[in-house]
Chain A
């Protein structure tokens, strides 16, 4: 069965430190992988996606994610965290056909402290 796991409900980092939000997935075919962010008063936003090609994907606001097929992971990273990065982050996987199913993780709350 298709699934996404975000093993950490909460991640706390200090401003200026690197951050990682973890995501692992399970899908029968080749995956499309996505990260979304939900800010408290700004709604849901798309951050980045992996479709094919380069395993390192760069997205909005300085975020990047690395697709690791052998570990079935797609961790979200940023070299230097900002307080404004504090939000709820969702990882999602999709079977790479138009009829494929989309599955979201439960979300990870990132708190960046000054």
Chain B
């Protein structure tokens, strides 16, 4: 299996632009997670899905952030408009089973720089 795939691996954009991060989970996994890592705030869980349905989006920082999972093979995290403080590494992870049963497998991350 190719593991969790994220694209792009690096993104540099200007403040105010729309940014879309993409994730392909491991085939057969029913949970998908989006995390953010910054020096200032550390690791944060942004949102997670079960069977393509968002379960908990309490970690999404503000309305500029949105996440979708249109099917079991694909999820997006969108930032519109982007701001310099959104600069971070964004990780996607997937698991078979939830917090109590599954093991999360992480993608390589997308390093976002907003100028």
Contacts and interface: CB of A to CB of B under 8 A. Distances in A.
A interface, over-half SS:
strand
Interface residues of B, number: 21
**Interface residue range, chain A:** 20 to 34
B59 interface: yes
Contacts, number: 47
Contacts of A74: none
A44 B43 CA distance: 11
Interface of A: 32, 36, 43-46, 49, 51-52, 90, 92, 94, 96, 98-102, 104-107
Given A32-B100, A36-B43, A44-B106, 8 more contacts: A32-B99, A43-B106, A96-B100, A98-B56, A99-B56, A104-B45, A106-B42, A107-B42
